[in-house]
Structure 1
Amino acid sequence: MQTAQLVLLVAAGCVAALMACSALVVRFKSPKPRAREESENYYLCIDEKCERQRLGRLSDEASVDLSIIVPAYNEAERLPVLLNDIREYVDARRQRGSFSYELVVMDDGSKDGTIDVALEFARIHGIRELKAVRHVVNRGKGGAVTQGMLCSVGRFVMFCDADGATRFSDIDALLARAQAVSGPVVAIGSRNNKALSGTVVERSHMRAFLQWGFHTYVTLLGVRGVRDTQCGFKLFSREAARRIFPNMHVERFIFDIEILLLARYQDISVVEVPVNWHEVAGSKMSIVRDSIQMALDLLAVRLNYMLGNWTIGSGH
């Protein structure tokens, strides 16, 4: 067999193997979100007259200035730190003028009484704006965020991690950048060291290495121009949220990438804003297992959009 024929045969074999692997990834790794249970259409609050109330809808008109979505899975110990940070921010913000908000804690099937901790905090501090939603079974962080966003009523909507790793008052910087943009916009917190002159970022060497590797992989798969895709501190104009979240498929850790892909596909502006961040003990992620899972999930997401298996609706 001539060298040229051998090269062609090997190339054909590689292409066939790549196509087969891609088909397997799409077949077995594509996320399949479950439908919302009837009980998940309601929230608990400290209003004695009506403790269980029906959630709002993202498609409705905004009724408050800001919706804060907090995905929480077994966060009974760490959640109060974030809730107190939010409470202090709201108190300070209201001293500057009128400010309305809702705080939606999405208890993603916790086993440690997370929802009870949230409601008790609300009772102690008189926070009637806190809405606690209980998922029947765990969806994953992305699923909890998406379900929270779909029921938000804010002019701006944001989500933040329950561990309180990001200083909540940094939301002012995200709001300022978002309000300076004409049209739908996503403002995302960034922990990138070179981008963060004047802010504080504390992370382990292992986390920094994994972030570098993941960023390289994300860039190779076509998500470019964002230095920190995974920071759990993101803000959306209501129009941007309406275009993005009804189209979401991913319910696990890689959901941030689908958000950015949907923004790019729909020409929604994305701005990065430096935030103060520190590593907090108690992460639910397994470094090895979840890194592999995220890599496969990201490939499945990219392939589904490239092949046209997933289409983007208007979201209205």
Structure 2
Amino acid sequence: MEYPWTILFFFISLALSIVAALISTIILEAYRRRFNHGHIEAPAIFEDPNSLKRVPCPSIFDPAEKYMSLIVPAFNEEYRLRGALEETINYLQQRAAKDKSFSYEVIIIDDGSVDGTKGVAFNFVRKYSVENVRVILLGRNHGKGEAIRKGMLHSRGELLLMLDADGATKITDLEKLENQIHAVAVVKKEGSRDPSIRISDIPITAFGSRAHLEEKALATRKWYRNFLMKGFHLVVLLTAGPGIRDTQCGFKMFTRSAARKLFTNIRLKSPDACRR
């Protein structure tokens, strides 16, 4: 009878250790951010390949100038980026032609690529103008998290969508996230005393998910990857609570207010990412 209790005690101890470690990490990181100002960075820039001029990027604190910004981080994506951008921009142009109130921008963040990613991105700027397609150059590889953060902080949209450069998600699926955000915004507006409130002023996020494909993925992935995935899900369960099934899908939409709160308070740099 002692064996089951030993196993139970082990898992309880493991869970408590993980929670304690996470809490300690959060406290230490909060302390570091409060008293360390070494993260202050030089302003980001984007380039207009037609005029060859570098222009300061807008700020997430500025009023929105577009309805939607699409943030595309890219690191050595020379061969996949072209197809993904063509599909994305074709959809955006068709939608803009049908709805004159719809405006957009696509922001490609070149995360220190060493292949032809930069050239592919600038070809789209030349084709569709710097008003609709912009490229932010990070100079060296900082990691995907920092690339997304840069794009978010220098976007102009009321709604901001992050998506991967490989086109793994159908671009038309953004309407599902958009509809969910609008549904929540309607409720928020009804409860607000300010009739002039805009959707960009309400902090809302909508996350895409591939959880419905989990059974198929489990059958094709190696056993150790499934083991690591289940372990990560356990950590998410312990830290964030039940109900969150997919945190890794790179297809997420934020209102401008939500992005301002989230991406001005995170530091996701990866100093050694260039060695991957």
TM-score (norm 2): 0.72
SS in 2 for 1:250: coil
In 1: Cα distance, 2:55 partner to 2:141 partner: 22
Q: Specify whether residues 223 and 51 from structure 1 end up closer, same or farther in structure 2 by C-alpha distance, changes over 3 A only.
A: farther
Structure 2 runs not aligned, ≥5 long: 1-12, 189-201
1:205 matched to 2:208? The reply is no
Structure 1 partner of 2:210: 191
Counterpart in the other structure of 2:9:
none
The one-letter amino acid paired with 1:235 is M
Tell me the CA shift for residue 35 of structure 1: 4.0
DSSP-derived class of the 1:180 partner:
helix
Structure having the higher helix fraction is 2
Whether the aligned pair in 1 keeps the contact of 2:70 and 2:105 (CA below 8 Å) is yes
Contact kept in structure 2, 1:37 and 1:136, CA below 8 Å: no
CA deviations over 1:192-245 (Å, ceiling 9, x no partner): 11799xxxx878722782544422222123354221111000000111111111
Does 2:91 correspond to 1:107?
no
Corresponding pairs, count: 230
Alignment of 1:153 onto 2:172: no
Distance 1:137 1:204, change over 3 A: farther
**Equivalent residue number for residue 132 of structure 2:** 129
1:49 is displaced (CA, Å) by 4.2
Shift of 1:169: 1.1
Residue 115 of structure 1 deviates from its aligned partner by 1.3
Whether 2:235 is the aligned partner of 1:217: answer yes
> Equivalent residue for 2:71?
69
1:167–1:211 distance in 2 versus 1, CA, 3 Å:
farther
Q: CA deviation at 1:145?
A: 0.5
Any conservation in 1 of the 2:111–2:141 contact (CA below 8 Å)? yes
- State the partner residue of 2:261: 243
CA distance in 2, matches of 1:128, 1:225: 40
Work out which of the residue numbers 183, 199, 203 in structure 2 matches 1:180. 183
Q: How much has 1:116 moved relative to structure 2?
A: 1.2
- In structure 2, do the counterparts of structure 1 residues 188 and 143 end up closer, same or farther at CA, with 3 Å as the change threshold? same
Alignment of 1:1-316 (within 5 A): 22=21, 26=25, 34-38=39-43, 41-46=44-49, 48-49=50-51, 51-98=53-100, 99-124=102-127, 128-181=131-184, 182=188, 183-193=202-212, 205-206=220-221, 209=226, 210-251=228-269
Letter in 2 for 1:85: E
Per-residue Cα deviation, 1:8-43 (whole angstroms, up to 9, x for no partner) = xxxxxx99xx69x949x849x9699854345xx210
Q: CA RMSD in A?
A: 3.4
Identity of aligned residues (%): 34
- The answer as to whether partners of 2:124 and 2:133 remain within 8 angstroms in 1 is no
Query: Could you tell me which amino acid in structure 2 is paired with residue 173 of structure 1?
Result: K
- Write out per-residue CA displacement over residues 55-76 of structure 1, whole angstroms, 9 at most, x where no aligned residue: 0000111000011111111111
What is the Cα deviation at residue 138 of structure 1? Answer: 1.4
Quick one: distance in 2 between partners of 1:117 and 1:143?
Answer: 21
Q: TM-score, normalised on structure 1?
A: 0.63
> CA 1:55–1:163 in structure 2 vs 1: closer, same or farther (change >3 Å)?
same
Q: Unpaired segments of 5 or more residues in structure 1?
A: 1-13, 253-283, 287-316
Deviations 1:68-111 (A, max 9, x none): 11111111111112101111211221232122111111111111
Q: Offset of 1:54 from its aligned partner?
A: 1.2
SS at match of 1:221: helix
Offset at residue 128 of structure 1 (A): 4.3
- Paired residue secondary structure (1:103): strand
8 Å contact kept, 2:70–2:107? yes
Query: What SS is found at the alignment partner of 1:218?
Result: helix
> Which segment is superposed worse, 235-244 or 205-214?
205-214
SS at match of 1:78: helix
The 3 A distance-change label for structure 1 pair 238 and 124 is: closer
CA distance in structure 2 between the aligned counterparts of 1:107 and 1:203, rounded to whole angstroms: 32
